[in-house]
């Protein structure tokens, strides 16, 4: 079946689905469901210029915007072993300053840790903050030859460079044999 507007085909049905020529507006929530692992939604731009495309635009169109308004979230959900729909990872955004010419936004990446959503990285204003809630969540930077090139041990309040197991407040280790390039600790009397 094909539906026309002014002799132009706009909606055409087939055994594989529906083809829409032109845009569409939905005024309520919509769900796209597949029974396999194929891509549920694909955005395609066939433009050949140097401008951005395709573009996904999320907009909160508020008539009374206020600082700290949430402006969008991308939520990744899955069933847990009790069959409950569970938010596992989310990307949350907010506008921290709505003043014209001084607008600022916040971008927060959150993951589920031991059953509770925890902020892993927040970017806002002039600051980027990791582990904002002060949880026992370590931070690691790996290099091509060292899995602990930079390691922050959140539970023990230690930082290691060249080691993923610092035994002092700040430790720089030259090799796996625990030969220290620099080692700083406090033995109660002196900083060494």
- Give me the pLDDT at residue 184, please: 67
Q: What is the Cα–Cα distance from 127 to 40, expressed in whole angstroms?
A: 35
- Give me the pLDDT at residue 178, please: 62
List the one residue out of 71, 168, 97, 175 whose CA is nearest residue 183.
168
190 pLDDT band (50/70/90 cuts)? low
Q: What is the pLDDT of residues 103-149, one digit of tens each?
A: 999 999 999 999 999 999 999 988 999 999 899 999 999 999 888 89
List the one residue out of 143, 140, 133 whose CA is nearest residue 160.
140
CA angle centred on 79, ends 82 and 29, rounded to 5°:
130
- Sign of torsion over alpha carbons 149, 132, 75, 53: negative
Q: How many beta carbons lie within 10 A of that of residue 132, not counting itself?
A: 13
Q: What is the Cα–Cα distance from 95 to 70, expressed in whole angstroms?
A: 7
- Give me the pLDDT at residue 188, please: 66
Q: What is the Cα–Cα distance from 137 to 133, expressed in whole angstroms?
A: 10
Q: Please, which residues bridge with residue 86 across strands? A: 78
- Give me the pLDDT at residue 177, please: 65
pTM for this one?
0.80
Could you tell me which residue, 174 or 116, shows the higher pLDDT?
A: 116
């Amino acid at each position: 079946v094909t539906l026309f507007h002014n002799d132009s085909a706009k909606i055409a049905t087939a055994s594989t689905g529906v083809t829409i020529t032109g845009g569409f507006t939905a005024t309520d929530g919509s769900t796209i469901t597949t029974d396999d692992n194929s891509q549920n939604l694909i955005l395609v731009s066939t433009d050949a210029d140097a401008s951005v495309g395709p573009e996904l635009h999320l907009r909160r169109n508020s008539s009374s915007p206020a600082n700290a308004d949430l402006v969008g979230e991308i939520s990744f959900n899955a069933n847990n072993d009790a069959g409950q729909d569970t938010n596992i990872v989310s990307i949350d955004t907010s506008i921290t300053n709505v003043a014209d010419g001084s607008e600022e936004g916040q971008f927060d990446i959150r993951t589920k840790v031991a059953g509770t959503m925890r902020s892993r990285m927040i970017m806002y204003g002039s600051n980027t903050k990791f582990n904002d809630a002060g949880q026992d969540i370590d931070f690691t930077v790996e290099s091509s030859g060292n899995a602990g090139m930079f390691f922050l041990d959140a539970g023990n309040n230690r930082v290691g460079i060249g080691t993923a197991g610092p035994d002092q407040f700040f430790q720089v280790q030259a090799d796996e044999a625990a030969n220290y390039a620099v080692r700083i600790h406090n033995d109660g009397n002196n900083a060494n």
